[in-house]
RNA sequence: GUGGUCGUAGCUCAGCUGGUAGAGCACCGGGUUGUGGUCCCGGGGGUCGCGGGUUCAAGUCCCGUCGGUCACCCCA
């Protein structure tokens, strides 16, 4: 029986997932991010102090547990990869070289009510850079470029990375005279769901805003541009605040750098807020074209205060691809296809059981040259054996004989072949993943 | 965690106001005594998600539960 929120893919989907993970990993390493894996559990205190609501954390507990055990060493499954990473950095600061760039591709768990693209167990692929004391801003501009590179190499719809900066919002709200900037942010974040009228009402009733202040917040949130023009639009609103200026300069740098290096990838979108958690500056969200209503498939941001030990601080910036969400959505629309259901490229036909050692030798010769090969399970009629291959999408059937022949069962072409030298065309060597 | 909605064969679904289950595709076998895909013939498969209730009788009505999905919450 399936368990709600714990998806299990069939082999074709898993093959697509592994292909995607390979692309992600090689691209991350191309940018010099070092691999890291952290344990699945953290002390509950660590998880809860970083802004996650307790009801979403899964606890780790033995079946027979001493009820008197100390509550402060309770363990919970991590709900993202950034919090464990921050803990890891503080713990291993002496052994790491800063700035430290790492990637982490792991399962995370959240006790939510699942729906399409939302699971309780899912894969994230995360990159972060952390430094001691201060982290140069140019890393904030690098994150979307890495992700753009990953997505460009995948057979998926176009992705747009929406960027904002908390300093812009907070500075703007402060400059307007609003004190509870967090509450304003959280309310504005609901814009897409409840609409501008209700947001304005909420700002007035819960964040102490006047009608005019609420409208200014909405005007700010409505600004969106693929180039630096957003900055003028913000300034036109006539609000003045040093934090706002700082935020605008940062956001401008992200948008203009991306505009130069990856045109069309990044958009300033002043309404995105990223809930409440630990972000202090740049924030990212990513939309897949045609899947906008399912929300972000890749998010992150700048966190200056997440990792700290005593007087030492380790500011960081990171972004995380929601691999399971992205694939779940694409699978749901049948947007991805794989050319065969198994890795096998060649099926060796088996004339009779006496021929099996010879067939195994042919298979070994092909495998020795990197060609995925299996021998037919039983010496059925050749028609059946071809069908066996066809059902699985295996493109070639090899007939032992004098001489051996190999048949491309898609075209029907059958040619003489020598297991010591024959090669499939490059496009048939591995299953191909294509966009539908 | 709260609420809505759906759950019949591997898949897509039909089954009217309750009268003890069907189609197409898929799968297996044969026609085709060792080279598939077309065509023809035949076949296997369902505790109608699960449990309980109402009824002479429940796939069909009621309750619960599990699962999918949607909205809230939150977010990858």
Q: Tell me, in Å, how far CA of A150 is from C1' of B20?
A: 58
Q: Tell me, in Å, how far CA of A116 is from C1' of B66?
A: 18
Q: Tell me, in Å, how far CA of A6 is from C1' of B13?
A: 27
What pLDDT, on a 0 to 100 scale, did the predictor assign at position A198? 84
What pLDDT, on a 0 to 100 scale, did the predictor assign at position A109? 92
State the nucleotide closest to A351 in CA–C1' terms: B34
State the nucleotide closest to A117 in CA–C1' terms: B76
Q: Tell me, in Å, how far CA of A120 is from C1' of B54?
A: 38
Instruction: Say yes or no to pLDDT of A69 above 70.
Output: no
Mean pLDDT of A13-41: 96
Q: Is the pTM of this model over 0.95?
A: no
Q: Tell me, in Å, how far CA of A76 is from C1' of B53?
A: 41
State the nucleotide closest to A389 in CA–C1' terms: B36
Pick left, alpha or beta for residue A290 (phi over 0 → left; psi -120 to 50 → alpha; otherwise beta).
Answer: left
User: What confidence tier does A67 reach under pLDDT thresholds 50, 70, 90?
Assistant: low
Instruction: Say yes or no to pLDDT of A54 above 80.
Output: no
State the nucleotide closest to A411 in CA–C1' terms: B37
Q: Which residue is nearest to nucleotide B33 (CA to C1')?
A: A381
Q: Which residue is nearest to nucleotide B76 (CA to C1')?
A: A322
User: When comparing pLDDT for A20 and A310, which is higher?
Assistant: A20
State how far the Cα of A46 lies from the Cα of A52, in Å rounded to an integer: 10
Q: Which helix (H) or strand (E) holds A164?
A: strand A159-165
What pLDDT, on a 0 to 100 scale, did the predictor assign at position A155? 94
Q: What is the mean pLDDT of chain A?
A: 90
| Angle formed by the axes of helices A11-30 and A323-332, nearest 10° | 140
State the nucleotide closest to A119 in CA–C1' terms: B76
Burial of A348 (0-12, 13-18, 19+ CB in 10 A): buried
For A145-191, what is each residue's pLDDT tens digit? 999 999 999 999 999 999 999 999 999 999 999 988 888 888 888 88
For A342-354, what is each residue's pLDDT tens digit? 999 999 999 999 9
User: When comparing pLDDT for A69 and A364, which is higher?
Assistant: A364
State how far the Cα of A217 lies from the Cα of A82, in Å rounded to an integer: 30
Q: Tell me, in Å, how far CA of A67 is from C1' of B49?
A: 37
Question: Sign of the CA dihedral A178, A181, A186, A191?
Answer: positive
User: What confidence tier does A275 reach under pLDDT thresholds 50, 70, 90?
Assistant: low
Q: Tell me, in Å, how far CA of A303 is from C1' of B33?
A: 74
A149 within 8 A of A347, measured Cβ to Cβ? no
Q: Tell me, in Å, how far CA of A393 is from C1' of B33?
A: 28
Write down all domains in chain A, each with its CATH number in brackets.
Answer: 11-35+91-337 (3.30.930.10), 346-435 (3.40.50.800)
State the nucleotide closest to A323 in CA–C1' terms: B76
User: What confidence tier does A50 reach under pLDDT thresholds 50, 70, 90?
Assistant: low
List bases in chain B with any atom under 7 Å of a protein Cβ. 1-3, 27-29, 32-37, 66-76
ipTM entry: 0.85
Mean pLDDT of A384-401: 92
């Amino acid at each position: 029986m399936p368990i709600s929120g714990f998806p299990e893919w069939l082999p074709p989907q898993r093959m697509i997932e592994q292909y995607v993970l390979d692309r992600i990993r090689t691209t991350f390493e191309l940018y010099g991010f070092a691999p890291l894996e952290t344990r699945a559990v953290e002390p509950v205190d660590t998880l809860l102090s970083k802004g996650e609501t307790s009801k979403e954390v899964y606890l780790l507990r033995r079946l027979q547990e001493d009820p008197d055990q100390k509550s402060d060493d309770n363990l919970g499954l991590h709900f993202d990869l950034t919090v464990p990473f921050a803990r890891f950095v503080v713990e291993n600061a002496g052994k790491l070289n800063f700035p430290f760039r790492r990637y982490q591709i792991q399962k995370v768990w959240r006790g939510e009510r699942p729906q399409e693209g939302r699971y309780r167990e899912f894969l994230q692929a995360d990159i972060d850079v952390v430094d001691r004391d201060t982290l140069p801003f140019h890393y904030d501009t690098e994150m979307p470029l890495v992700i753009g590179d990953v997505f460009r190499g995948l057979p998926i719809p176009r992705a747009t990375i929406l960027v904002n900066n908390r300093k812009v919002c907070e500075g703007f709200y402060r400059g307007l005279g609003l004190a509870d900037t967090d509450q304003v942010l959280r309310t504005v974040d609901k814009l897409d769901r409840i609409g501008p009228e209700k947001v304005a009402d909420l700002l007035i009733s819960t964040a102490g805003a006047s009608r005019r202040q609420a409208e200014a917040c909405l005007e700010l949130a409505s600004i969106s541009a693929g180039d630096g023009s957003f900055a003028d639009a913000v300034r036109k609103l006539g609000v003045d605040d040093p934090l706002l200026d700082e935020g605008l300069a940062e956001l401008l740098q992200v948008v203009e750098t991306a505009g130069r290096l990856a045109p069309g990838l990044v958009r300033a979108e002043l309404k995105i807020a990223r809930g409440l958690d630990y972000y202090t500056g740049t924030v990212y969200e990513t939309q897949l074209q045609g899947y906008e209503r399912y929300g972000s498939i890749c998010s992150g941001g700048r966190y200056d205060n997440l990792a700290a030990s005593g007087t030492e601080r380790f500011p960081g910036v990171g972004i995380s691809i929601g691999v399971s969400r992205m694939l779940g959505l694409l699978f749901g629309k049948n947007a991805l296809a794989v050319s065969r259901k198994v890795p096998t490229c060649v099926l060796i036909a088996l004339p009779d059981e006496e021929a099996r050692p010879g067939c195994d030798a042919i298979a070994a010769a092909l495998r020795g040259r990197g060609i995925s090969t299996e021998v037919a399970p039983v010496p059925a009629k050749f028609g059946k054996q071809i069908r066996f291959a066809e059902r699985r999408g295996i493109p070639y059937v090899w007939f032992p004989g004098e001489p051996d022949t190999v048949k491309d069962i898609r075209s029907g072409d059958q040619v003489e072949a020598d297991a010591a030298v024959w090669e499939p065309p490059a496009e048939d060597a591995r299953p191909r993943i294509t966009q539908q």
